[in-house]
Structure 1
Amino acid sequence: MKSVLLYVNDDTGLEARLQAALDVTRAINGHLHCLRANPYNPQMAFDGVTGMSVVYDVAKLTREADEKLRASIESRLADEDVPWDYEEANASPARGLARNSALADLLVLSSGSGDKDNVLPLGILGDVLFNTSVPALVQPDSVKKFDAAGIAVVAWNGSFEAGNALRAAVPLLHLATAVHILTVDEEKHHDLPPLAASEYLSRHGITSEVHSMSAKKPSVEAVLLSTVDALKASYMVMGAYGHSRARQFLFGGVTRSLFKDCPIPLIVSH
């Protein structure tokens, strides 16, 4: 894990994403690639007198905003001790991130925890996770750091997605002071029990502790959140969208709930 891809946009989560991206890039001695994906295209307008014309004013304002954002980010990064570059793409956020993810090891995105614009981050998360094979660091707006040396929690349900997330997180779990594997008894069979996850980590030289939790609270996510709080965890590793994304958005789901309510960063993979 060396290449970190940061989504750059002037929104409420930018500062938290930037700080988390710097922390994780520094921790892994990696490279930070900043991507500003802007879907704007010059619009064509018609009137009955002059005929067709290009709306230059809108293009000018958009360009000025992009230049201001780039100058701000580059000014900040100039004083940091990590290698970085900045790129602009004429694409929607999800499409731009997917296009540029082929050589990335980790994406840094916002969760849906913000008060003002939490619908957009959820949409971007869903699209990116379903259209790439790259794990994502999902950062709450209120948390302006990523403590790679802290306590890590792995939310384990024996699924293919959980396995992908665990494998992707191995470089970070090597840096954690402690690793806890949490499994919640949902009264259903899983092909890969938590002991298998612990044994897998041991082959990578990572010691872990397994916790089997009873689903006595209102939901699986409630059990996970209370345990994360009790363990004073710095971040949680989890698989995302075990069911179809459409079903989870219509009826809820652990993934969507944690994207909105988890108070610590998530390392997720689909």
Structure 2
Amino acid sequence: MKSLLLHVQDDPGMEARLQAALAIARATSGHLSCLHVTPISLYIASDGITGAYMMPNFSKTLDEMEKKMRARIEAHLKTEDVSWDYEHVEGDAAQEIVARSSLADLIVLGRYHHRETRYTPITLIGDVLQSARAPLLVQPQDLMTFDIFGPAVVGWNGSFEAANALRAALPLLQMASAVHIVTVEEPKPLLLPSLAASTYLSRHGVTSELHARPVSGKPVEEAIRETAGVVGAGYIVMGGYGHSRAREFLFGGVTRTLLKECPIPLVMGH
């Protein structure tokens, strides 16, 4: 993965996803593009008469905060032996990330503890995941590294989304010390069984181990997390939002649950 796109924002997960992006850039001799998006609509007020405006003092404060963050990140990057660039734009974060991800191999986003709103991590991740062609790395805020050379788990359900995630994550899986493909047995056969995923990986020089978990009332996401814990996985590869996001919001789902609760990074495709 030679081209990494990192979402820059002053939030609790910034340092964790920066460290994850740097770990991958070092291992792949890749280039790190830092994209800082100011969602200016958050800071625009309206008096109902003259239209929208931003208070001058607040605008100045916001500008100073952004300059300090940029200086801090650039100072860090200058100490690293990786190629990088930094861009700051104003607009909708998801739209700007998607627009600049067309030639990215991986988009690095963060997941941190926060009540859900229009501009919090799980919403941004969902918006980007459903529109971008590049895979996403979703990094937990408490994990200051990405174990690129350790074991990896693939959550497999035979879906189009899972296949996309597997193909997109191939450069990472080729560097993993072991790859474990996890499926939960279902009465109806999968369109693409786990053996097909294993065969695909083998053609690219990746040996994998199959884990078929029985349906025992335990949620799929729990089976994936448990296997990841047992094998000491550094990350999980999975398809995202196989069902509609509205359905997952109302009834729960593997994607939504893992985005909220998984302690290790997720590499996701849609």
Structure 1 unpaired stretches of 5+: none
Change (3 A) 1:67 1:207: same
- TM-score by length of structure 2 reads 0.93
Q: Tell whether 2:23 aligns with 1:23.
A: yes
Partner of 1:143 in structure 2?
A: 143
Q: Does the 8 Å CA contact 2:109/2:139 hold for their aligned counterparts?
A: yes
Q: Tell whether 2:122 aligns with 1:115.
A: no
Q: Does the 8 Å CA contact 1:13/1:141 hold for their aligned counterparts?
A: yes
Matches within 5 A, 1:21-100: 21-40=21-40, 43=44, 55-100=55-100
Structure 2 unpaired stretches of 5+: none
Matches within 5 A, 1:1-270: 1-40=1-40, 43=44, 55-111=55-111, 114-117=112-115, 120-270=120-270
Q: Which amino acid is the alignment partner of residue 246 of structure 1?
A: A
Structure 2 Cα separation of the partners of residues 53 and 162 of structure 1? 45
Structure 1 Cα separation of the partners of residues 81 and 53 of structure 2? 47
- TM-score by length of structure 1 reads 0.93
Structure 2 Cα separation of the partners of residues 47 and 161 of structure 1? 45
Structure 1 Cα separation of the partners of residues 105 and 221 of structure 2? 27
Q: Does the 8 Å CA contact 1:12/1:117 hold for their aligned counterparts?
A: no
Structure 2 Cα separation of the partners of residues 182 and 46 of structure 1? 55
Aligned-pair distance for 1:55?
2.6
Q: Does the 8 Å CA contact 1:12/1:116 hold for their aligned counterparts?
A: no
* Overall identity of the aligned pairs, in %: 52
Structure 1 Cα separation of the partners of residues 266 and 48 of structure 2? 50
Q: Which amino acid is the alignment partner of residue 101 of structure 1?
A: S
> Pairwise CA RMSD of aligned residues?
2.1
| Range with greater deviation from structure 2 (56-65 or 71-80) | 56-65
Structure 2 Cα separation of the partners of residues 5 and 67 of structure 1? 20
Change (3 A) 1:118 1:17: farther
What count of residue pairs does the alignment treat as equivalent? 267
